Amino acid sequence: MPPTGHFLHAVPNLSVFLGLVVFTTVVSALACGPPAQPGTTLEKAPANTEISTLGGPESTIEARERQSVAALPTPRSNVTTRAPTSTPDLESTVQAMVSEALTKLPAPTPLYWPTLEDFKSIAYITIDKAFEGQGFGSGNFYRDRVDEDHGQYAAVYVAKECLANRELSFDSFRSFIDQTYLRVQSADGVPVLNVTARAVIAELLLSNALEESGLALASDGCTGRFFYPETPTKARLAIDLVKATGVKAKLNPFAAAGFDPVFARGAYRWFDPATAKGKPFLPWLCEGEWWGSELCRVQEK
């Protein structure tokens, strides 16, 4: 058996091998860091400390700042929500507004209007028939009054057709004239025109009162021309309607001579707001405060 001293000589590379083992152990210890303390947990280092963005690499600090800003609470709006409040009856309110607006709408221009020439063509025939065979000049009194009578007959006809919601036409105007012109009631001798005018005015006033109180919807602008004329020229329709009740017949002959211009001048005072005080034209005319007596009644016999 060889002596011990010759063992290293027999294995010449053993010392080199042991040196490599020692060196490797030291390097591994230094790479792993200091030994962990008891009771602690090792944390795994992040694999990447950069965040890729569209604009280029972003540092960890910048990423955390961006995330912190994104996590901030959203500012509250300054708009305050009011609690719901009670509202009036919209249906009745709208109905009242529509009624008032329709009443005051300008009257639409009708396709037909009873002109003086239309009235003359009918009246002259009626006069000729009524005084046929009574000699030359018979009936001239009525022929001379045709221009004056036209306004009253036309006004009553228009009001009557408006209340019936019928369109004006020459045929219906001629029919109206045939039934009223130069005709009187057999019982008391009052002209049919006066009676018809009084009945039409009463119906107009009732209709207007119901509309203003909200008990009825406003009719179209046809009847509105009697209550809210836009000009004195358009007011002639309501003036002639009141005259058709027989106002002039109540006057003595001397006062009747200048009745028409005086009556018109007094009626035109309605266009002064201080005089009318917001009252519709036809009721204001009929009350007759500006004239001194009620005007919309036929004189009783």
**Mean pLDDT over residues 269-292, rounded?**
84
Percent of the chain at pLDDT exceeding 90? 35
Would you say residue 157 has pLDDT above 80?
A: yes
Q: State the average pLDDT over residues 153-179.
A: 96
Provide the pLDDT confidence category of residue 6 given band limits of 50, 70 and 90: very low
For the chain, the structural domain boundaries read 107-287
265 half-sphere exposure, CB direction, 13 A CA radius:
5
Tell me the C-alpha distance between 269 and 276, whole Å.
7
Task: Please give the pLDDT value at position 150.
Answer: 97
- pLDDT attached to residue 213: 74
Nearest Cα residue to 262 out of 241, 299, 290, 300: 290
> How far apart are the C-alpha atoms of 158 and 113, rounded to whole Å?
9
User: What pLDDT sits at residue 16?
Assistant: 47
Residues 6+ apart with CB under 8 A from 226: 159, 204, 237, 238, 241, 281, 282
Tell me the pLDDT tens digit for each residue of 236-247. Answer: 999 999 999 988
C-alpha pair distances (Å), 54 with each of 47, 51, 57, 140: 20, 10, 8, 108
Cα distance between residue 277 and residue 56, in whole Å: 83
Q: What is the pLDDT of residues 30-70, one digit of tens each?
A: 555 555 555 544 445 454 444 444 445 555 555 565 665 55
What digits encode the pLDDT tens for the residues 69-117? 555 555 555 555 565 555 556 766 666 665 565 555 555 555 899 999 9
- Residue showing tokens 């019928």: 166
Question: What's the rounded Cα separation, in Å, for the pair 14 and 7?
Answer: 10
pLDDT at 232 over 90: yes
- Using a cut of 0.75, tell me whether the model's pTM lies above it: no
C-alpha span between 138 and 93 (Å, rounded): 61
Please report, as a single letter, which amino acid is at residue 276: A
Residue 193 scores a pLDDT above 90:
yes
The pLDDT of residue 136 = 78
